[in-house]
Structure 1
Amino acid sequence: MLIDTLLKARWIIPVEPDRTVLDNHALAVHGGRIIDILPIPEADAKYQAASVESFDRHALIPGFVNAHTHAAMSLLRGVADDRPLMEWLLDHIWPLEQKWVSETFVRDGTDLAMAEMIRGGVTCFNDMYFFPEVTARQAARYGLRAVVGLILIDFPSAWASGPDDYLSKGLALHDELRHNPLVTAAFAPHAPYSVSDEPLLKIRTLAAELDRPIHMHLHETRDEIDQGRQHYGMRPMKRLQQLDVLGPSFVAVHMTQLTDEEIAQFAESGGSVVHCPESNLKLASGFCPVARLIDAGVNVAIGTDGAASNNDLDVMGEMRAAALLAKAVSNNAAAVPAHTALRMATLNGAKALGLEADIGSLEVGKAADITAIRLDDLETQPLYDPISNVVYAAGRHQVSDVWVAGRRLLKNRELTTLDIEELFQKTAAWREKLTSVQERP
């Protein structure tokens, strides 16, 4: 049988079934989808491929899903480090955004972020930022899968004049993306402290009608909880419950401030949590109770947050941090084992975004969103368990190749769709602009 591509690997880690490692197997890819997974000798006998690749020192895994980021904020990497969240936002990030955010800013920042994510094995990202139509266009142009957030906040920005304008522009973009094979949309009200009740009620109705996720920061800090009590007389999650916003398509980001009752209630709602451990650590936001959420049956995915608060978009680093933090927070070394952490960074992210039928695991019929990780470095020797080494020992510099829907976006560490020298030039120009008024430490 003639097919497009045959990828032979020392190990294939499909994620589903769980804890599975396939030795000396091959992935048969045709028309951008996986059509077979079988031992290499059987693949050689069964298929003739236009392209045959051997990865005899690698593990092939599903591409990572970065379930929460603000891609364009890569241009703000490092401008306001070592400050608590509200000071970071109010005194530094929002003033810079007010001055500089534009279509060009979003285009260049998103390109930089996508290059970094591809080089780190990410094949899909869930974004929340202004000018989402620009993010959508750039992702489609360069071949990366994306869910773009139809952002909404109560106050005006460079993109929209107020809640009705945000919704109007967001709905227009949703309609434009209906038939896009790589890019979809989610409603993205920013946070409980920045979105009032009426817009949330409108989003609730529209999300149900259009079958779209709702992607929102929630219970990120103690200050957010205090503001909710002060302005609404209740904790933010309780307010969302009363507005009937929570549900199976709700994606809650951060969730560091949770009571046992709230964990049970959120589990009952069927929603997903996106854990951003490094951003939470850097901003001293708190610790997401990942082990308790998983034990309660909550789908927990992994995100990096934006590079302005992380300061990278390294999902492999987040995956390792998530596994280690869960053990420390729960005082249980068995909490979030390696195979669970890998699932959080792949299939759980796909599930949170409503994409689990297409991506998140290497299964026949799914899109060929694949990441190859070299495991022959000294730092990943000796190798007893490939899953353990991917999670606890390997780094993103060992990602060698990346495919999205069968299209190769990274080949032997070289980007195939993005121009790295152009990225360097544009990023340097933005640094000059952003520091032209006041040089920051």
Structure 2
Amino acid sequence: MAENDIDLVIKNAMVVTADAEHRVIDNGGVAVAGGRLTAVAPTAELATLETQAARVVDGSGMLLMPGLINTHCHAGDCIFRGLVEDLPLEPWLQTVWKAEGTILNVETSRLGTVLGFAEMLLAGVTTVMEMFWYPHETVSAAREVGLRVSTGGIFFDGPGMNDQTEDQRMADAEGFFEAYAGDDDVFPATMPHGAYTVGPETLVRAKRIADAHNGLYHTHAAETRAEQADVQARYGRSVIRHLDHLGLLDERTVLAHCVHVDEEEIAILARTGAVVSHNPVSNLKLGSGIAPIVDMLDTGVTVTLGTDGAISGNDLDPWLTLRLAALLDKGASHRADAVSREQALHMVTRDGARALGADDRIGSLEPGKYADMILIDIDRPHAVPMFDPLTHLIYSTAKSDVRHVFLAGEHVVRDGELTRIDVAETLAAVRALAPKVAASIA
């Protein structure tokens, strides 16, 4: 290998690879060339590569791991953070939609999305599945801040917040796939809101578009008892059975929530390969319930993690989401071993990548994959002693521990600061908008 072919070497870190064998290197690091990992090894084995590297980062006192993957979010709703409180989902949504209808346009949606993406990147999220109204603006915001994103055409009965007809939605969804075909930082999808807000024919048409482009299909499903009752009354089937009857469930389908599902519905998810995005924070805060993820895991369902939007969970903290995912079903099932630390870690890394059809490129630290990774400060009182790094990540790590974030080897967060944007400008713009947002539901 010629001199300077190596772009970056990180050394002297504790490395959690999140690979299939759950490999941990006590004193190790990585080498990066062309945005991809060329070596994941003990520090001593990186010495030759270090002499060739354009940049060397000393990871002493830090833990190196893959960037986190958030499989369900509405980052654009960050401008409504804390606006609607203490309501269950259905009346909560009516108030939220009133605010969105008054405030949202291309500019304000992009503003909220930049704010949410900045928050997530600082917390160590490097890939997000984002459902919001203006997907091209979503991609633009992700590129401005420094994340990979899965997004695409939104489907909603009626004009929605972007005032479109169904035919316009279909055309825009097709155009989105064509615009980003082959882009390594975008995982295109179609995103109907849910079975209670989108009719069967539209659900099927959206899935056909996704399938035609080998894309993803993302929707809310079985979040509340009221939703289940509504869909059952309209179509004579529960939500998961309805989606299965329409032929919408396969390994490219990501279902957000799945709180209220029975044993047969869990078996349907396992049979079809549909992925569940577990969102414990919003499920708890809206009083929706606790998803039976232990039963899903035991049945072979792929479970991933989502923060949902800051309007329903008040922040976009992947570490709180991870901890709750590991803890809630232990208590609910009275089984201390219900969710293993390996399972929990994979929900937010390897399995998140699998949900996006990208586990060959992201989700673990392995040669050939993109150098999407984070360095976490473990030289802190709550990190000492550390008998097991996976246990620390799941039960002790906070978003404030994230020191550095790399996207394809680019240093997009350095010492807790974003490198691509001046977030102060975004904060000022959101503060200036806040009085109008408050007035929207007055």
For the superposition of Structure 1 and Structure 2, which TM-score range results when normalised by the shorter chain? over 0.9
Amino acid at match of 1:354: G
Residue deviations 1:287-338 (CA, integer Å, cap 9, x gap): 1111110111111000000000001111111000100012112221001122
What is residue 84 of structure 1 aligned with on the other side?
88
SS in 1 for 2:27: strand
Amino acid at match of 2:316: L
C-alpha distance in 1 between matches for 2:147 and 2:396: 26
C-alpha distance in 2 between matches for 1:68 and 1:437: 26
CA contact (8 A) 1:160 1:166 kept: no
Deviation at 1:142, TM superposition (A): 2.8
Listed as ranges, the matches of 1:397-436 within 5 Å are 397-436=400-439
Deviation at 1:184, TM superposition (A): 2.5
C-alpha distance in 2 between matches for 1:321 and 1:158: 32
Deviation at 1:158, TM superposition (A): 3.6
Residue deviations 1:358-389 (CA, integer Å, cap 9, x gap): 10000100000001111111122221111111
C-alpha distance in 1 between matches for 2:176 and 2:335: 45
Residue deviations 1:207-253 (CA, integer Å, cap 9, x gap): 22111111010000000010012111221211111111111111111
Listed as ranges, the matches of 1:301-316 within 5 Å are 301-316=304-319
C-alpha distance in 2 between matches for 1:178 and 1:12: 33
Matched, 1:32 2:35: yes
Amino acid at match of 1:144: L
C-alpha distance in 1 between matches for 2:126 and 2:310: 17
What is residue 111 of structure 2 aligned with on the other side?
108
**CA distance 1:9–1:122, change in 2 (3 Å):** farther
CA contact (8 A) 1:339 1:388 kept: no
SS in 2 for 1:308: helix
Deviation at 1:22, TM superposition (A): 0.7
What is residue 212 of structure 2 aligned with on the other side?
209
C-alpha distance in 2 between matches for 1:391 and 1:193: 34
C-alpha distance in 2 between matches for 1:160 and 1:172: 17
Deviation at 1:438, TM superposition (A): 5.3
**162-171 vs 124-133, greater mean Cα deviation:** 162-171
SS in 2 for 1:175: helix
**105-114 vs 167-176, greater mean Cα deviation:** 167-176
What is residue 349 of structure 1 aligned with on the other side?
352
When the two chains are superposed, the root-mean-square deviation of aligned CA atoms in Å is 1.2
The match for 1:73 among 77, 97, 109 is 77
What is residue 332 of structure 1 aligned with on the other side?
335
C-alpha distance in 2 between matches for 1:390 and 1:406: 22
**CA distance 1:99–1:437, change in 2 (3 Å):** closer
Deviation at 1:437, TM superposition (A): 4.9
C-alpha distance in 2 between matches for 1:117 and 1:236: 30
Listed as ranges, the matches of 1:288-299 within 5 Å are 288-299=291-302
C-alpha distance in 1 between matches for 2:58 and 2:432: 40
What is residue 5 of structure 1 aligned with on the other side?
8
C-alpha distance in 2 between matches for 1:250 and 1:273: 9
What is residue 62 of structure 1 aligned with on the other side?
66
**CA distance 1:290–1:278, change in 2 (3 Å):** same
Deviation at 1:286, TM superposition (A): 1.2
SS in 1 for 2:131: strand
Deviation at 1:348, TM superposition (A): 0.9
SS in 2 for 1:435: helix
CA contact (8 A) 1:401 1:412 kept: yes
Deviation at 1:408, TM superposition (A): 1.1
Structure 1 unaligned spans of 5+: none
Residue deviations 1:337-368 (CA, integer Å, cap 9, x gap): 22221110111111111111110000100000
Taking structure 2 as the reference length, the TM-score comes to: 0.97
Matched, 1:286 2:289: yes
Taking structure 1 as the reference length, the TM-score comes to: 0.97
C-alpha distance in 2 between matches for 1:135 and 1:182: 12
